[in-house]
Structure 1
Amino acid sequence: MNEVSIRPPCVLGRSIVDRAFLADPYPTYRALREAGPLHWSEEFFGGAWLLTRHQDVETVLRDARFSAKRTGGWVNDLEHERGELSRFQRLFGRALLFLDSPDHSRLRNLMQSAFRPDALTRLRPEIERIADELLDSLNGVGPFDFIAQVARPLPVRVISHILGIVGADTEEVTIWSDDLADFIGAPTPTREQACRAQSSLLAMTRFLQDQLETKRTARGDDLLSALLLQRERGTLHDDAELLAQCAMLLFAGHETTRNLLGNGMQALLSHTEQWQLLVKDPNLVPDAVREILRYDSPVQYTGRRVISDLLFHGQLLRRGELVLPLIGAANRDPARHADPEELDVRRTDRGTLSFGSGPHVCLGAALTRIEADVVFRQMLARWPDLRLASAEPQWFANPAYRGLKTLSLRPAM
């Protein structure tokens, strides 16, 4: 075998995804990044190349030689479950997140009007109204769980408003989303995780089918109505493709924002001097949101498949092999950011990769930033002396989607 074909072992010589990593992945990222640009790990999906540096991560996210179509490997590797998971794969593999062009471009163009700047400007008052309502309910209650009371319900209500969904149950949407995130974010998904994800995806699509049936006779100025029209025109090719986009919008519209809000409050209140800078100058909040995304990204890595054999940093990457751009590591690359381990809401060296880069940059990135901007501004105005009520954050055991289970906060009384 040609020497460049040999897959070198991961330099750490131990498990990457252990309890310490899940609590704080950044020391592991630093060790990997300093050891070299490319590492092979058997811990992810039976084997994957890990990229740690900003330039390499951005390159792979933009390079058409690396494909986003990777769901077949996830599902088909559970060989004895292929028949049972076929319904899951038919929907899961049709979502925008897991497609290349031309299908990716076609579907993205159908949905992006709801996330354009003018549409989001019109939406901001509704986001502010929802945040007001949620935060008003916390006045005088003492310590409260920010995740349960704010970070979970707000993005569900916002994405439901955009889609035109009526009667969405926050807890139900959260369970569906958690099951999907648990599967997508597992280094090696188990049969149990796959089956739970399938059950939740099918439950989500049944709920969305009911919503779409209502829209057939009562169209509105919402994204479900717009997508239903595209299905009738044939631009969306079939009902499975329609439902896959609707489900992923509901999932992604909740998961990333929830974790950004929670991670952001945890980071700011763990660095009280940064919180006080925002108290004194709320106009820094947009910069703070960008910095929080860089400092503790809700999405820690994504995946790509190598389309054909290629050399990368002198290493032969084989067709079909999985590459994981470690976004969380890239965001703290000292070659891109000065003092990358420091949280600095006045940072000027921007360039977070938390929403991706290139054709697959997150469709709802601007919406997520607006939601965080609204919530943080209102929290600062209401409770300038807000404090953490618990010193030990409880993180989900998910290396891809980094987020808190709970976050207890104590307003000054």
Structure 2
Amino acid sequence: MTPFEAATHADPYAYYSGLRRQKGLLFDAGLRLWIASSANAVEAILGHPDCRVRPLNEPIPPAIAQGAAGMIFGRLMRMNEGPRHLCPRMAIEPALASVEAQSIAAIASRLIETLDKPLEDPDELMFTLPVCVVAALLGLPSNRLQEVARLTRGFVACFSPLSDETQLGESNSAAAGLSQLFSALLSKDDQRSCFLSHIWSGCEATAWRDDEALIANLIGLLSQTCEATAGLIGNTLVALNRNPGLLEDLQAAPMLVADLVKEVARYDSPVQNTRRFVAKRCTIEGSLLEAGDTVLVLLASANRDSSANPDPDSFLLKRTNRRQFSFGSGRHECPGQQLALTIASEAISAWLHRKPASSDRHYQWSYLPSLNSRIPRFYRDRELSSDRSYV
């Protein structure tokens, strides 16, 4: 197995454990990259100033560099360092921190009534509902929310090296469509949502005014919500299937849903790995890394490191001092972490409360093709095949 294959393997965690036993940071000559698997190594790499989110000579992947998706990619704070990372983050992060769980619950509840059976269709619950919640929070028109979710799902193809030319072309079209929607939204000064107004105030407070970069990072909020939250919801449904006692615990104490989702984020991370690129020679965890080296950072492995979480392979709802790296750490730690956890918790709470008829039927799942994400795709009885797991 390789760490790329591990992301969508039925059970990659024994493999990760083997890597940690070898060395927390080791060089794989076959893959020609470093692999950080221990909690200490992952934290050190993510916090090191010379480990960057993009190669110095390739700020935008060549496959998308000339299109609308590439224009957005190049302006995302998560794909930049220095001012292009810090300025939009300083404007957007306080707004994300201000969002209350009650607001998310109210939006999610309203959308569940208007979307196409999100509680009976796992795909709708995982991919459409979360993006619609964030789009509604930003103030996009209610009659365009499902279109926004569809465009966002098309746009995220630009991040995957597995995407083909057709998908990359659709990603460019989706990027252009989303840019138009946000341009129109920002032009309406008197119709901004509270959340968007908070972001706008952050822009003014930090004297950061770059409308194109702001639009790109608002699209970035949707794209990060799309796959990471889908994986978090999906892996929580998998956990409920694999641990029947959890349903009884949650029926007795529904307030434990938030703990459930947090433990899933640690135990079966929706983002299994990320990469960093070495800008200049440095020594990390006793190893000498050269400029131009690539480091594959195994977030999911760090989550299962006993130095970070005692008894790491046990699923514990009430885990004390839980540490998880699924949303990164250091200067690029995802500022929308709490938002994603809250949206996933609301989705799972609604699913448990409504108990849709489809939950009485067997589902199976496999994982969507990916080199870094772990997102289950669920199938109904009529779609069953022998190589899928039951849910």
Q: TM-score, with normalisation over the residues of structure 1?
A: 0.79
Question: Is the 8 Å Cα contact of residues 85 and 198 (structure 1) preserved in structure 2?
Answer: no
For residues 381 and 255 of structure 1, what CA distance do their matches in structure 2 show? 24
2:85 to 85, 104, 114: 104
1:280 to 229, 252, 263: 252
- Compute the displacement of 1:96 (Å): 1.0
2:179 counterpart of 1:204: no
Give 1:85 deviation, angstroms.
3.2
Q: Which of 236, 244, 252 pairs up with 1:264? A: 236
Tell me if structure 1 keeps the 8 A contact 2:178–2:219.
no
Residue deviations 1:251-292, cap 9 Å, x none?
112221121111111112211012221221222222211101
Partner of 1:95: 76
What is the identity, as a one-letter code, of the residue corresponding to 1:177? R
Q: 1:121-160 counterparts in 2 under 5 A?
A: 121=101, 123-130=103-110, 132-133=112-113, 137=117, 144-148=120-124, 150-160=125-135
Alignment counterpart, residue 34 of structure 1, candidates 13, 21, 26: 21
1:332–1:106: structure 2 CA closer, same or farther, 3 Å change rule? same
How far apart, CA to CA, are the structure 2 residues paired with 1:214 and 1:17? 39
Structure 2 CA distance for aligned equivalents of residues 390 and 347 of structure 1: 30
Shift of 1:158: 0.6
Aligned 8 A contact 2:154 2:174 in 1: no
Distance (Å, rounded) in 1 between the aligned partners of 2:35 and 2:123: 31
Match of 1:6 in 2: none
For residue 58 of structure 2, what is the aligned residue in structure 1?
Answer: 73
2:281/2:289 contact within 8 Å kept: yes
Q: Which amino acid aligns with 1:25?
A: P
Shift of 1:52: 0.4
Aligned residue number for residue 384 of structure 2? none
Gap runs ≥5 in structure 2: 382-391
- Give the 3-state SS of the residue equivalent to 1:168 in structure 2: helix
Report the CA distance shift for 1:297/1:73 in structure 2 as closer, same or farther (over 3 A): same
The one-letter code sitting in structure 2 at the alignment partner of 1:68 is: V
* Alignment partner, residue 385 of structure 2: none
What's the CA shift string for 1:378-404, capped at 9, x where partnerless? 333333999574464211111312101
* Counterparts in 2 of 1:134 and 1:271: CA distance versus 1, 3 Å: farther
Inter-CA distance 20–69: structure 2 relative to 1 (3 Å threshold): closer
RMSD (Å) for aligned C-alpha atoms = 3.4
Partner Cα separation in structure 1 for residue 115 and residue 187 of structure 2: 35
Shift of 1:376: 2.4
Question: 2: CA distance between counterparts of 1:311 and 1:107?
Answer: 30
**CA, structure 1 residues 362+336, in 2 after alignment: closer, same or farther (shift >3 Å)?**
same
How many residues are aligned here?
379
Tell whether the 8 Å contact from 2:52 to 2:277 is kept in structure 1 after alignment: yes
Question: Relative to structure 2, which stretch is displaced further, 280-289 or 225-234?
Answer: 225-234
Aligned residues of 1:259 and 1:402 also touching (Cα < 8 A): yes
CA contact (8 A) 1:296 1:328 kept: yes
CA contact (8 A) 1:96 1:108 kept: yes
Paired residue for 2:295, among 320, 323, 327? 323
Give % identity.
26
> Does the alignment pair 1:403 with 2:375?
yes
Post-superposition CA distance 1:14-33 (Å, at most 9, x none): 64434895333223212212
Equivalent of residue 100 in structure 2, options 113, 120, 131: 120
User: Does residue 194 of structure 2 align to residue 213 of structure 1?
Assistant: no
* Secondary structure of the corresponding residue to residue 129 of structure 1: helix
CA distance in 2, matches of 1:161, 1:21: 31
Whole-angstrom CA distance in 2 between matches of 1:71 and 1:395: 32
1:54: how far off?
1.0
Deviation (angstroms), 1:242: 2.8
Q: What is the TM-score when the length of structure 2 is the normalising length?
A: 0.83
Task: Compare 330-339 and 206-215 and name the one that shifted more.
Answer: 206-215
**Maintained 8 Å contact 1:95/1:241:** yes
Structure 1 pair 392/120, CA: closer, same or farther in 2 (3 Å)?
A: same
